[in-house]
Amino acid sequence: MKFLLNFPNSNSLPGFLRTGWAQLDIAEYWIKINHLFKTIKHFKDMRSPFKGNRSNLSGLKMPESDVSQQFSDTDFSSVINPDYLKWRFFGFPVTEYKVIDDKQAISIARIGKRGVLTEVQVLFILPKSAEFRLKLLIKSYRKITDFDIISLPISKNHSLTRQLLPNLFLKVPNKASVTYKILEFGNANRFQQTGIVSHKLSYLLMRAFIRNSFLSLFGTFKAPKPGIHIINAHYVTPNFVDENDAKVFDKFLQHISKNAKLITIQEATRLVAEKQFDQKEALVAFTFDDGFAECFDVIAPILEKHKTNAAFFINANYVQSDEDYQKNYNERVNVFTKRPMNWQQIKSLHDRGHVIGSHTLDHMNLAAISEEEQFSQLDANKKILEEKLNYNCEYFAWTYGQMQHFPESALKIAQQFHPYIFSGTNYKHYFSANEAIINRRHIEPFWPKSHVNYFLSVNKKP
């Protein structure tokens, strides 16, 4: 999906809306008054524009806490860590900033004036635990600066909004607005058709906006770190495949080969399982989930051209399924332009040295079904694959890839069936769940090179 974001003021907003832009109605502006008498006396100053104080970059202590958040789903992912904060707030220091990095949160604010009133504008809060209290954060700001008002631009659905009223924050009218225009639909089309545009799309757009602006600049300067990187992808394009997509995938492999060595998935799995993390260079291996036709048509031949292979994680019921089944399957994986491989193609990949792994029978969310169903989803899929290919199915990747999609019971079942279990999360660490799970990094081949660089630049830990 490609889109543009813009930040028109209230005067130019109507023009934007008339010419096909849509509005993201997510920002609210909340303030809390610290010095009541002064603020009342100068209340008209509240209408003055915010003017940032002179930059204080030289004396500023950057956030250093090793706290990072990573969000990802099938469409977008984003990373927030100290490097990101440095880029986002301190790359172009035009105002005075204050940084809180204490037990409960990292927070960044800019300091400025509205008329004679001093305002602390809190731009960023990253709670370090669920115990986060807004009250304590305000206290921390009070300790380091004497302000008349503290303000918080925040999205309507943010979990913090519950703490605003009890802390005597007031909502004030906000002129800033965010508009967007979709250039190329991809999956966004789906959201519009199904009428869930506003909430889900705006959420995804904002996250994508953060990720894109951050990684495009930041990723440019990053090179892969020595270690073993296992990539988790699905397809060469979210759209219908055309002749250009083979080139895109070829370029993706060329780009990685420049700074890293491509190795087979069997080799990568062995190195991780044997904890041979002390590598001289970045080693990269590939996996593809869901078994779409382009795995056979495009992906495997180009991997072979680059003298490497991949693991393909298959849902047996999707293979050679009828149209009704495919429609439901596509809903589950949120892709609407894909067809499955057939058994001859999967057999061919297997014969050519690629790994065929299990991805459960029907691509259900394992956390949403009973233990009996979890068992049969894993058991039946392994049996069918082994019968069709006459081998021992050692590789398993659960659906949707995050820990919340993989209950303890499903892990126990998977361990009975498969020596190697792969996630799609927690990529900075080689393992999850006491070394029971090998983590993969979600990267799609058509993502910008800078994003790929960034993900490969992670210093992985056991």
Size of the site for Zn ion (CB under 5 A): 3
What's the min distance (Å) between Cβ of 284 and Zn ion?
21
Please identify the residue of the shown chain whose CB is closest to the bound Zn ion.
289
What's the min distance (Å) between Cβ of 381 and Zn ion?
12
Find out whether 425 and 432 touch, Cβ atoms under 8 Å.
yes
Report which of 427, 405, 366, 437 is spatially closest to residue 77, judged by C-alpha positions: 427
Among 119, 290, 294, 362, binds Zn ion (CB under 5 A): 290
Q: Which range in 193-201, 283-291, 368-376, 380-388 contacts Zn ion by CB under 5 A?
A: 283-291
Tell me whether residue 105 or residue 366 sits nearer to Zn ion (CB atom): 366
Tell me whether residue 151 or residue 315 sits nearer to Zn ion (CB atom): 315
What's the min distance (Å) between Cβ of 363 and Zn ion?
6
SS3 145: coil
DSSP 167: G
CA distance 126 to 135: 15
Residues 6+ apart with CB under 8 A from 459: 225, 227, 428
What's the min distance (Å) between Cβ of 231 and Zn ion?
14
Kindly report the backbone phi and psi dihedral angles of residue 118, in degrees, each rounded to the nearest multiple of 5, phi listed first. Answer: -90, 130
Number of helical H runs and strand E runs in the chain: 15, 22
Interface with Zn ion, residue 148, by CB under 5 A: no
Tell me whether residue 191 or residue 400 sits nearer to Zn ion (CB atom): 400
CA distance 7 to 19: 15
Tell me whether residue 108 or residue 230 sits nearer to Zn ion (CB atom): 230
What's the min distance (Å) between Cβ of 162 and Zn ion?
34
CA distance 438 to 432: 6
Q: Which amino acid, residue 17?
A: L
Tell me whether residue 126 or residue 397 sits nearer to Zn ion (CB atom): 397
Size (the chain), residues:
462
Tokens of 299: 């992906």
Tell me whether residue 147 or residue 422 sits nearer to Zn ion (CB atom): 422
What's the min distance (Å) between Cβ of 394 and Zn ion?
18
How many CB atoms within 10 Å of residue 28?
Answer: 17
**Interactions with Zn ion, residue window 384-423 (CB under 5 A):** 399
β-strand partners of 179: 6, 23
How many CB atoms within 10 Å of residue 215?
Answer: 24
What's the min distance (Å) between Cβ of 55 and Zn ion?
47
Interface with Zn ion, residue 289, by CB under 5 A: yes
How many CB atoms within 10 Å of residue 41?
Answer: 12
What's the min distance (Å) between Cβ of 159 and Zn ion?
28
Interface with Zn ion, residue 362, by CB under 5 A: no
Q: Which range in 73-81, 289-297, 348-356, 405-413 contacts Zn ion by CB under 5 A?
A: 289-297
Q: Site residues (CB under 5 A) for Zn ion?
A: 289-290, 399
